[in-house]
Amino acid sequence: MMQASDEELARRAAAGDGRHAFAMLVSRHQSDVRSTLRRLTRGDAARADDLAQEAFIKAWRSIGDFRGESSFRTWMFRIAYRTFLSEIRRNEPATEEVEEHHAVHEDSHEAREFMADFDAAMRQLRPEQRDCVHFALQRGFSHPEIADIMGIPVGTVKTHVLRGRQRLQDILSQWQEGIAHA
Amino acid sequence: MREDWLEQRLAREEIPLPDDGFTLRVMGSLPPRREGRPERRADWILLAGTATGSAAAAAFFPVAPVLRVLVEAAQIPWIGGGLMLGVMALALLAEPLRRAL
């Protein structure tokens, strides 16, 4: 049986009660939204889940305004990103850096090491650049979609992704060469 | 080395987060759906307010003399221009007011 598209589910969620359709949307996108918020909150899983919950509730409240001008996924991430930004404005940003725990293949020690290196390299980027790189490399959004999510010009996104990716690749390659020579 | 090796490596290493009851928690905390679109409700409030105000004005105030004075005043250029500007300002303010409601 063909799966209903996000946009179809959003239309159903907006019509009448629509809870079942909305539950399917939450289930479909919870992983990506929560993972992104974990990155934005520097690995604070509890805070990230609270923000994700708040974002989905906002989405439910305004699902009638979703016009399909962007994909549902982009629209949902825009809400999640703005929820995160409002929370930062409400409270002082956390200074303590919590070590990020990614869901990686458990049997792979190498995978865990790679993700730890990747996180360390990401921390060397400026926040806006880091967010752009995350949305592009880890969530697969296009430059215009990232601009829509973050509310910044497409040109800025392009520059951030280009320079950020290059810097990450340089850092990671240097570290890997270092390990190989050791 | 391929240009997109980093994307490929990340896609390979990262696996989806398990739901662990997250969807149920969200669904349990959703507020009930409000009847009607808020925008539509605001439209009705404005319409009802305008109709009530107009009816009250027609019932309690001497409309005809006021209209006569307005028509006469509108023939004086600066008053007529002022009235037109006032009407335009009201028209411009209508949409922000509707949104605020």
Residue by residue, DSSP assigns A105-153 as -TT-HHHHHHHHHHHHHHTTS-HHHHHHHIIIIIT---HHHHHHHHTS-
Length of chain B as a residue count: 101
The tens digit of pLDDT for each residue in A55-91 reads 999 999 999 999 888 999 999 999 999 999 999 888 7
B43 touches A: beta carbon within 8 Å: no
Does A137 contact B25 at a Cβ distance shorter than 8 Å?
Answer: no
Contact B14 A102 (CB under 8 A): yes
Scanning every residue of chain A, which has its alpha carbon at the shortest distance from the alpha carbon of B33?
A: A17
Round to whole Å and give the CA distance between A82 and B28.
23
Chain A partners within 8 Å of B5 (Cβ): 169
Give the closest residue to A159 by CA, choosing from A179, A127, A129, A123.
A129
* B34 φ/ψ angles, rounded to the nearest 5 degrees: -75, 145
CB pairs under 8 A between A and B: 75
Residue B11 to residue A114: CA distance in whole angstroms: 12
- Check B19 against A137: CB less than 8 A apart: no
Tell whether ipTM is more than 0.85: no
- Of A90 and A102, the structure prediction assigns the larger pLDDT to A90
Taking CA atoms, A66 is separated from A10, A14, A25, in Å, by 8, 9, 13
Question: B25 and A53: CB-CB below 8 Å?
Answer: yes
Q: Who has greater pLDDT, A12 or A2? A: A12
Beta bridge mates, A104: B14
Taking CB atoms and an 8 Å cutoff, what residues of chain B touch A137?
6-7, 10
**Any chain A CB within 8 A of the CB of B16?**
yes
Check CB contact of B4 with chain A, cutoff 8 Å: no
Residues A38/A45, Cβ–Cβ less than 8 Å: yes
Q: Give pLDDT tens digits for B27-57.
A: 999 998 765 555 566 677 778 888 888 788 7
Task: At A43, list the tokens.
Answer: 């690995």
What average pLDDT does this structure show over A155-176?
A: 90
pLDDT tens digits for range B71-89: 888 778 777 788 788 888 8
Tell which wins on pLDDT, A135 or A97: A135
DSSP B14: B
Average pLDDT score, chain B: 78
